[in-house]
Amino acid sequence: MATETESPDSESHPAPDHFSKTNNPETINETRTPFADYAVAQAQLYHQAFNEVLDSTIDAAKFRFSQIRSTSSAHFNQTLDSLDDFKSQYNAYEDLLFEKIKEGVLVAASHPVITCGAAASLGLLVLKRPRRVLYYNTLRLFVSEESMISRAHAEVKELHQSIQLLKAEGEKLEKSALHAEEQFLHGRTKLRQAGKQIRNVINSAYKIETRAQGLKDILGEFPKREASLFRSQVSQLTSEAKKEKSTLTKEISKISNYGISV
């Protein structure tokens, strides 16, 4: 029984020599030193690479900025040079213009006859009527008399044809106007005749109303039963006559509005 109780303790606790070897600090430091050196070396490599990239980026930016500055300054200087050249050329042309004007004034003052002739020539060229006279006179110098006569004859013939066309068109319009006038007069006559006929019908309607009123007076002497039957028929005929008279009176008013007396 004593042997069974001691075996678990011998299995659960390791030997003192083994524990001392595994938990020795020197052994741990020897194990960790190669990994730390490798990590430090890698960190230094990354730091060096980052610094190289940063330096190259800064150098490129400096080169680009210097290039931009040199280019812009060159363009600016070129622009200034161009403006100076333009200014000098403008001053030269301005001086030349004033010199020419001055010379022209001096020449005009020293030669008044030539100046008057030049002014007259300019007036002939600018004004419409003198320009036309000058054109025909110049044309007469270079064109023969026969060609001018033939040209004038052609223009006269063309004007004659235009007048003939105008006359033919005027005759057509005159005939159309006469036909319309005839139709108007014929329609006016027909309207006057229709108005007279309508007036006769209206007079007939008045006569019918008068006869109906007299018939109503006569029916008053008849017996009540028979008189009522005839009286309703007479009243109906009288109302129809009044309606027709009113319609025909409106037609008469329309004809009168056209200026036709009925």
Kindly state the helix (H) or strand (E) to which residue 191 belongs, with its residue range: helix 145-219
Q: In the chain, what are the domain boundaries?
A: 16-96, 143-257
pTM confidence score: 0.36
Distance (Å, whole) CA 59 – CA 69: 15
Sole residue written with tokens 């009123």: 213
Please list the pLDDT of the chain residue by residue as tens digits (262 residues). Answer: 333 444 444 444 444 444 444 444 444 444 444 544 555 565 666 566 666 766 667 766 666 666 666 665 666 666 666 666 766 776 676 667 666 666 665 655 666 666 666 666 666 555 556 666 666 666 666 666 667 677 778 888 888 898 899 888 888 888 888 888 888 888 888 888 888 888 888 888 888 888 888 877 777 777 777 777 777 888 888 888 888 888 888 888 888 888 877 7
Cβ neighbours around 194 below 10 Å, total: 15
What are 43's two structure tokens?
């960190």
